[in-house]
Chains A and B, each alone.
Chain A
Amino acid sequence: MSKFIVRRLLGLIPLLFAVVVVSFLLMKLAPGGPEAQFNQNPRVTPEQIEAWLHRWCLSGQTDPVSFVKEFGGWFGVYNCDTESLFTPTGGLNILPAALGGGTNGILHGDFGFSIATGRPVLTLITERLPATILLTTLALVIWVTLAVILGVIAAVKRYSLFDQSVTFFSYVFYSLPTFWLGLMLIFIFAVQLRWLPAQGIVTPRQWPPFNTDLYWAAFGKNPGGALVDIGRHLVLPVTVLVLVSIAADSRFVRASMLDVLGQDYVRTAKAKGLQRRRVIMKHAFRNAMLPVVTNVALEIPFLFSGAIVTETIFSWQGMGLLFIDGVGARDYFLLMGILLITSTIIVIFNLVADVLYAVVDPRIRYD
């Protein structure tokens, strides 16, 4: 088992490196390149552009050699001041700064500055993360719970009216375009009925922007009011996420449960004369949950990458909206940073799911 984990972890390194290369390529291939943002600005002199490019180890050249150098600089292997693999003090640039290495490049945690806002990419991401995690975690917990309940009941009462309606509505909500469902819910509950706020995380002018120092100060003074305010803003986006995500998971739980209910040991348990409830909950349910656990592990990266569509519709200032804004502003460094971080999380949780699969189910062995 530990052999398997080590082998998979080693396999992750080339994969993540490929992700790094792809995200860099995406930026380099984009028309105009990152310096195109200065094209319309008469106050920026060519020297300033030069200096700006140099800060990011970009040469503005297109030949393969400077391309590799640029990539090396962005990755943290190459030092652009000395134009070699070494830092001015003579250490290898790839080493951590504490060991005499360089400070540039993603290997040293330098994801660059957002072009649109001028702030460090990592700061922007860590600022937005709490809002996303709040929204996605709440939604995930609710939809997994509901999916398990609905799936198990549908499996136990197979082909009943309940089962068929769960199937039908699963398909319908699974098919509904998320953003349109969001728009319609806003129209009904925010515009017409005026029960819930249409957009945002907190009510503007009543509360400071979410996750700022001011906000937490206000939160400390009136925690109850703050929670009620956020709760009201959470209702619609969480509803949308739950409705569109519940379908796949409840189908999965149903299939898994049906599979287990057909097993011999369940029949044996029934034949022994155990209560039906006990057979379902003790014997069948616990085993049916094994594949569900791994399936949920695969959904965890979503907690960080954010719900792009839902966050856009509801102006929820999280990671998804940060990304959309980055795409709109052609904010390369921000986009590369988000792509890299979310890809890393996805890859790691794929591995976690594989390992979990073997941990919860002793029948599965990796060797």
Chain B
Amino acid sequence: MSEPFRPADTLAGVVGPVETTPATGPGDFEVSLESLNQWQLAWRRFKRHRLALIGTVVLGIVILIAIFAPILWPYDAIKIPGAKHDGGDPPSFQPLSQLFGTDFGGRSVLQQVLVGARISVAVGVFTMLIATTIGTVVGAISGYFGGRIEGILMRLVDLLLAIPFLFVVLVAARFFGGGDPVALIAIFGLLSWPGLARLVRAMFLSLREAEFVLAAKAVGVGDLRIAFRHILPNALGPIVVSATLTMASAIVLEAFVSYLNFGIRATDVSWGNALSNSQGYLLTGNWWWPFFPGMTLAITVIAVNFMGDGLYDALDPRSKV
């Protein structure tokens, strides 16, 4: 190996040097070597997980819907047209805006699904970003440096894990949320990181004794650079998986908190809000109102979870190509 061992550039810290795979072209007897870096290897593994691919595509579509909802739904969202039938109209193709039926006020359920994707997806994505960042940094610092910092941070983790998560989320959303999606994101994000912090800390504890860390120290690399450039990429798989799980659970959590009316304002549209008023009408046989927002929610969450499963296999450097 002519190059110095640089695990930070790739995920190679665990598997070692870049692997090579012989590729044989048709009718070509000359042996050519195809070199793949760890990302290409991960992509190969990910591609084979069909459910994960489908999940990624579905999630991509949902995110596109969330971004382009105002273009997809050019109608006035505030105007309440009034339902033809008492309690809402069943789904129909004429007009297309009533594909998913309407609620008791005649508002299209399709609109609630499309526009509601904005808040639901935003809550999922930003909660994931906040929680993953905090969890990774806290775990990395306490695992790498140890000592008093670790003691304090891990006691905080113990405390947060000792209190039932859903209880605190509900109380915080009710008392400090004020119907604001940004406040909800902050609450979810600030409470969802302890599990990941513990996981990252455990990985750092074992990886900091690895030889490549010793090598990096020997050539004079700084502590923070070792922690985040050299060790962190090796812990990427579990972090990414935890991120997808956090995203899925944040989307469900927003829906549940809003369903209980402790979440976002009643005038805003999210999947949870769309479900929130529907329970009473369910008993009258108005199935489409809760069905479609809930179904979209369920499909999104399943897609995210399948994607996470695929990423777990793909980012595990020990799994075969």
Chain A: residues with CB nearer than 8 A to chain B?
14-16, 18-19, 22-23, 26, 29-31, 168, 171-172, 174-180, 183-184, 186-187, 191-192, 198, 301, 305, 308-309, 312, 323-324, 327-328, 330, 335, 338-339, 342-343, 346-347, 350
Contacts and interface: CB of A to CB of B under 8 A. Distances in A.
Contacts, number: 118
A64 B190 CA distance: 25
A343 B171 CA distance: 15
Closest 7 CB pairs of A and B: A180-B294, A175-B302, A30-B175, A175-B301, A177-B252, A175-B305, A18-B159
A330 B166 CA distance: 16
Contacts of A14: 155
B188 interface: no
Contact of B255 (A15, A26, A168, A177): A177
B305 A176 contact: no
A339 B174 CA distance: 15
B220 to A, nearest CB: 38
Contacts of A308: 166-167, 170
Contacts of B275: 179-180, 183
B163 interface: yes
Given A26-B171, A175-B298, A183 B279 contact: yes
9 contacts: A19-B163, A26-B171, A171-B302, A174-B305, A175-B304, A180-B297, A191-B283, A324-B260, A327-B260
B162 interface: yes
Given A183-B279, A183-B294, A187-B282, A335 B163 contact: no
Contacts of A174: 305
Contacts of A184: 290-291, 294
B73 interface: no
Contact of B290 (A22, A183, A339, A342): A183
A309 B260 CA distance: 10
B159 A177 contact: no
Nearest to A308: B166
Interface string B275-291: 10011001101010011
Contact of B164 (A31, A179, A305): A305
B38 to A, nearest CB: 25
A178 B275 CA distance: 13
B282 A177 contact: no
B297 A177 contact: yes
Contacts of A342: 164, 167
A191 B61 CA distance: 34
Contact of A180 (B168, B175, B298): B298
B313 interface: no
Interface string B235-266: 00000000000001000100110011010000
A295 to B, nearest CB: 15
B19 interface: no
Contacts of B176: 29-31
